[in-house]
Structure 1
């Protein structure tokens, strides 16, 4: 099995990082809705005026519900509507300083840049105003498959502030811009297009930060009376869970041509001791496993669940975490025993994945 490359989503994120707009479609068929997306911190009058020209002119500022709460931007009718696929609009705002009436492209661009600044507080905004926030799901496209969530995730993938302008594309006659007309528009204006599903696929495997999906926390040796292996905890920035990896010799340190074995198990929420990771029914004997991977190489990946609800299946979330762990250690190919496939035991499968570069290739602004 091969792991899909990053090209399409990365190019879209790079485009946002250079201050240019992209198109996000909520589907791949001819009836999909297409939105112009502009990175909030790069919102300029010319780009905003262009977006107004080719859309309804109803410009929204997509941001997480948590960020909106910090700015005192409550939902107009409550977040419950977002669960039905209806955007959770917040109270419209203008920047408190530096604008005129608030309606011009110049003023709205300034307001969105203020919304994107990390130091902005509630007093830096006036209400009501001409820019309408959309309160997005905290975990982005994996919790809500919307264009607004994709826009925020793409900004984070590009290393930008997690605020984005979104506006729905329309024809001159006022209809949704779709199908061949949408393709012709993107080609004429030379704009990158990306689907919400492709962003979700990317986030599952790579996360949204430049560090990748897994962030290394704590490392400790396992006391087996021999050199190695190590237990390493990782924070999963997609699900919020903490996973543990026991690692022997893998990657560049393994024998040439040897494909490491990787055992995937389900762990309890917290390790009960340094010698056991289990789910309460079938504990994993780390001592026996440690001797095995010390002698033969490979790793054991103990995945922990999360109580949060996602639109992605649990086995899809688990697959992404496994691939992220392999990539972290520079493993290009591995035999994965217990590869998540939706069953209780999982499958044994040869997995191919490309290791992460030391630095993400998304261009800085």
Structure 2
């Protein structure tokens, strides 16, 4: 398929922002991290925190985490002073755990600068973990700087609005150029959030609600009769399946937990001991004892699926205990385990109680 021509601004494009902002003034979603349309820009800390949490995660999933974080750590300096393990545990369940490590690194960088976020897109890009999208979003929403903010929702809206038919990811430069052509100089934060809301509630991936769209008359994909076909996505490659083992070692009503290495998959998180997800065999148990299978946990990561065999062992007779943290089994849900190990924990508790 040939690439569409690069969109260029015209008089119609300059009217789009006004239509969209009028719609947003009447229909903006109420979210814990937002200021209502037209009001003073929100706290940069809350904007940044929400944007990091929202990466590849839904607003419904993020809302309780955002409330928990801002209650426990109400300012960026509070977060910067937090214990790593506490933050990682509070993040558990949100996934993409490198975000939590970057969150701490960024909070500490901002605290070292006096506790104030820089107010330009370029300066924000220098902070740990802030890529092009997050820096643009914080600059626009928190500081009213004109910035081209393109997330997955905006990408879909713009691809349809300009009928950009080149498949993703190759279409992204054209989409950004088109988004730039309609981004206004004023109300930058409201415009960015309006585009996000339009994609989330009207211009949805499946069954877009075109009759309710304030930009229907300007939408080239709608005029061509098949907006749901855009953006064109490259075929997904099948994900490989990895296999491994996790070990539930119990002693006197407590289970052995370890802290994973700071880098790599689920870095820095509390977890059950495991074999590195390599399924090497029976000889790799973390301690001698009578082991028996406790079921299989299946979990999907971004680049692979995992089948994790749970192995159970009572360690009451051991005199030399392995290094780790012994956590009360009846409080295992409070340990802040990443989802795959939380699943394994629930399975072990169910097996234990049968």
- The TM-score with structure 2 as length reference comes to 0.29
More helix by share: 2
TM-score normalised by L of structure 1: 0.28
Larger Rg: 1 or 2?
2
